[in-house]
Amino acid sequence: MTSAINHPEFGEVRGKQGDGVMQFLGIQYATLDDRLAVPQMRMEYGSEGIDATQLGPRVVSPDGCEFELNTIIQQTLDLPTSFPMSELEGLHLNITVPSPQSQKKLPVLVFIHGGGFMTGANAWPQYDFTRLVKLSAETSNPVIGIGINYRLWVSGNLTSQELRNAGYPGNNSLRDQQTALKWIKTYILGFGGDPNNVTVFGESAGAISTVSHLYSTEPLFKRCISVSGTPLMLAPLPASATDIGYDMVIKSLGLDLVSAAERITKLLTIPAEELIAKVPQTVPMMPFTDGNIIPGPPTFEIVSSASEHNDLPTPGRKWCESLMIGDCQFDGQIFSLMLLSHRKKDIAKAFCTSINNSFSSEPSVAQAIFQSYNIEPATPDEPAMMSIIQFGTDINYFAPAVAYAEGWPGTAYYYQFNEPNPWDGPFKGYATHALDVAYLFQNFNEKLTAEQQAVAKAFAEDVVRFANGEAPWKAFTKKEGGTRVYGPSSIQTAAIVQDKGVGKTRKDTVYSLAEKVGLDGLGAAWVAFIQGR
């Protein structure tokens, strides 16, 4: 059913009403001069107001919705008939408001989707805010939910010295997100939201983005939630390395023998479908250290300290009031799907060789890793892959989340999502990547048992309490720890326990391994393995 509000700046905004919420869809928050341009916040929409009754188009990128549902989450939902792309009109947001509207200004919960900075959209059904917003109202902690689109892949993060010299500074994914957050702060009051009470939460690449916005000198939100991702997991590219990916793109498009001006013109005008067909999806395109949006690379040593570091100034640790951060018990499953699937044969031998090379001066560390994760060169491929995934989980998701919680100078809350994936697939029975967000949005409830639904509801209630400024559980401290654990529902009827530590067995393993070489040393060894060294 169509519904409308009278926005003080935009006039009539027409949306959809149903199931306890009003939704205003596809509202463009920024305009673009071309696919690589810096975004310009949109402030005018014409005298006829805004028609926000339909989902907006996705940005130019490979369509990965079915892959996330069927392969990563291992469960499907009803999909839109198509996900049309748009070069210049993909920067929009979906706003979901409890119905009837509240008489008071409501907290705002903004979601930044994941997808490896390659794929994703606010139109994906697993990210629909309807049920989460409805639940927030039913539990007397109402929030307004907003899902944003931002540029991905080539238009989001392709950069090089040549492009920067031509006036294209790069880091468009993060620039778009910041523009969306500024739009929300400027105009959300007209939708019933409190512009001074915004919580941003992101998952995977969206979580990396959320944490990266803490580098901003301008306050962008009041609270943030990092769900299975930090810049320690996927570090920004050095500026010097961006030319490598740029050259790969240029060669794939047959532009390596033309002038710089011709190359850039072609990059801006080549049809999106041709980009997707010709540019290899293996080209690294992610945020880079530009000295501005991202001032420098993070390290465990820096983020685990509450002191400010000149090497990585992070003003957001002062202007952001509180942090919620957590991980899934088997987040590293994503590595086997995205980076290691083609290396499965004899992967144990390759892993042992790489780890031995990384710790050639500390062979006892390599041996301790093999012993801790039960792997040796002759380990069969299937169990070897699972052991390697667990090591990748611990050093890329678990340890970074703990480090950020330990170093947060304000109030921090740390959680672990240990609910096993209930659906058929190679990772059934493991707490897999993206499962936490799948549960959080409540959109898979019909495919869950009552006990599993209790986990989903508990996680969602904690998130909306946090967005309302309440303490969802006891705050984390470096001395005492403090962990909220979700699942497994098979042995926890209430779905949650409060633990003083941070997962004793996992912490004892990865932290004892780091005693000689540090967590950064273990992280570097993982990167070397992923890169085939």
So which residues are the catalytic ones?
Answer: 204
Tell me the longest C-alpha to C-alpha distance in the chain: 71
What phi, psi does 232 have (nearest 5°)?
-75, -25
Residue whose token pair is 């069969």: 380
Cβ 416 vs Cβ 501: under 8 Å:
no
Query: Distance between CA atoms of 98 and 136, rounded to whole angstroms?
Result: 8
Query: Distance between CA atoms of 438 and 283, rounded to whole angstroms?
Result: 28
Cβ 148 vs Cβ 206: under 8 Å:
no
Cβ 369 vs Cβ 355: under 8 Å:
yes
DSSP for 231-288, please give it. TTTSPPBPGGGHHHHHHHHHHHTT-TTS-HHHHHHHHHHS-HHHHHHHS-TTS----B
Residue type, 34: D
Nearest CA among 433, 432, 458 for reference residue 445: 458
Cβ 294 vs Cβ 215: under 8 Å:
yes
Q: Going by DSSP bridges, is the β-strand pair 92-98/50-51 parallel, antiparallel, or unpaired? A: unpaired
Residue type, 504: K
DSSP for 120-157, please give it. --TTSGGG--HHHHHHHHHTT---EEEEE----HHHHH
Query: Distance between CA atoms of 27 and 396, rounded to whole angstroms?
Result: 35
Residue type, 114: G
Structure tokens at 278: 């010709």
DSSP for 316-329, please give it. HHHHS-EEEEEEET
What phi, psi does 260 have (nearest 5°)?
-60, -40
Cα-to-chain-centroid distance, residue 242: 21
- The helix (H) or strand (E) run that includes residue 185 is helix 172-187
Residue type, 191: F
Query: Distance between CA atoms of 100 and 395, rounded to whole angstroms?
Result: 46
- The helix (H) or strand (E) run that includes residue 396 is none
Give the number of residues written for the chain: 533
Nearest CA among 351, 443, 383 for reference residue 145: 443
Cβ 67 vs Cβ 118: under 8 Å:
no
Query: Distance between CA atoms of 324 and 464, rounded to whole angstroms?
Result: 12
